[in-house]
A and B are shown apart, each in its own frame.
Chain A
Amino acid sequence: MEGNSKGITDWQVLINKPVYSSDGKEVGIVSSIQPEKLVVSYGPITPDKYLIPKSSIINFENGIIHLNDSSEFVEGNYQFE
């Protein structure tokens, strides 16, 4: 179940797991799984939300999801709320 994104068979295990950008910054926590994307939320009251393609995941190890994209790219391209 862990390893490369293509090796993840049960995507539901990613719920509530932290997501980090390629430059090591925390993007947020996975709040839901869509067919092709993950919805990631950051912040407690009015959270920022990101729509992250599953293909951006390069690694899922020790309960942490690592992306192939930098925090700048994530902010500019994936945030929707």
Chain B
Amino acid sequence: MSKKDTFPFLEIHRALPREVPVPIRVLDYKEIHGDFANGDAGDQAARCIDCGNPYCSWGCPLHNRIPQWLKLVRDGRIEDAATLMHETNPLPEICGRICPQDRLCEGDCTLETGFDAVTIGAIERWTTDEALRRGWRPKLNAQPTGKRVAVVGAGPAGLAVADGLAHAGVQAEVFDRYEEIGGLLTFGIPPFKLDKAIVRTRREVLEGMGVRFRLNTEIGRDVAFSTLIKEYDAVFVGTGAYTFVDGKLPNQEAPGVLPALPFLIANARRAGAQVPRRPWTAESGRRILGLSQAANALPDIVGKRVVVLGGGDTAMDCVRTAIRMDADSVTCVYRRDEANMPGSRREVKYARDEGVQFLFNRQPLEIVTDANGVRGVRVVETALVNDGSGRAKPQVIAGSEQVLDADVVILAFGFRASPPDWCEEFGIARDASGKLIVGANGSLPLQTSHPKVFAGGDAVRGADLVVRAVYDGREAAKSILQKLGVARALFA
């Protein structure tokens, strides 16, 4: 890469790795982006102008050292770049794939105005994949401390905690009720966004660092929480947000109406060709998801008309999954306009490319059923009103009701934290919506009201971005280490 040229951002255009053409990619669940060729990643990295105010780093919840590792990638120092990425982020290849970069680092990139942002996410992904492929692994300097910490939940927050602890010589044991690590990374996010092999590789990396995973093990059922409290020096709770937001639509119990998560999880299992250790049953579905409708999970939707209600990233996952399940038509219904969608614009684009219809400014009123179940969704048009209190509010336009035909309706209104039952017993405080309270007066960041128990991720925040869960995990590890008196700071 030529170093003297100070204008690569003018000469080289932003280019994401090539997308697999739509007709081909909807045939399976593989990731839709190919890899950079080596030179291309370097060229793209060279577009970074290394600002005095690195807006990207500021925009990243993890404050990743983006310009610094872009420079290393530009110079072909892939392993060094991977090392630097891992300093702030234990899961860079995952964030590189699923972060809404257009709302975070790339959205804040100086070049975004007028030039198009540096392809930060794609470079992060490519670099970590490539480094791991070349055999690079995180380097551990610490001597074992003999301390042990239990981590409940192998989602992004839990993995990040485990990583931080391992670096400090603390034994992390990660419990998860599922048969594979990753939590929503594995079971919620469709494989075309995150290939499950990536998560498996990360599991190997973590195990190589000494992290132990105890899967298919549910705390409170297979192992008592009190055992953790007793046997470990600290406990981290990262149980996520699985309780779906109830839209309380009339007839939502009808056959053919599905909440998003069971739909995605079931599909992930199928599409990922994972063989469940325990057979998938209505019973287990109910247990996991806590919803009676789950019994009807994964109806055959080949040739059916699918309507997805909601405008977040989960909704996007549902519509794109439905397309791949050969639905006849897939429509996304959202009550605000496109500009006000919470989901990543990039995902909306992919969904459109893949044939999803969008209906904005429509608020669902009820599920229309007949004897066979769902027939459609009654919606009403809305107009956005800005009352100055924050986000624009949809207001119903009287007399604009209509019924959208549908054979399957997927509810993707969002999720709330699902705190385990044992919280109460151990005096772990929650707020009204069930989220665990951390960092209250006098306690360490991410420490719960039980001094030995820490928590983070969706269990604390409610449904939120993976990158914020990773942040919580990273910071929780620091707090735990501080609490254990192991080290001053890991990522100062």
Q: Do A and B bind each other?
A: no
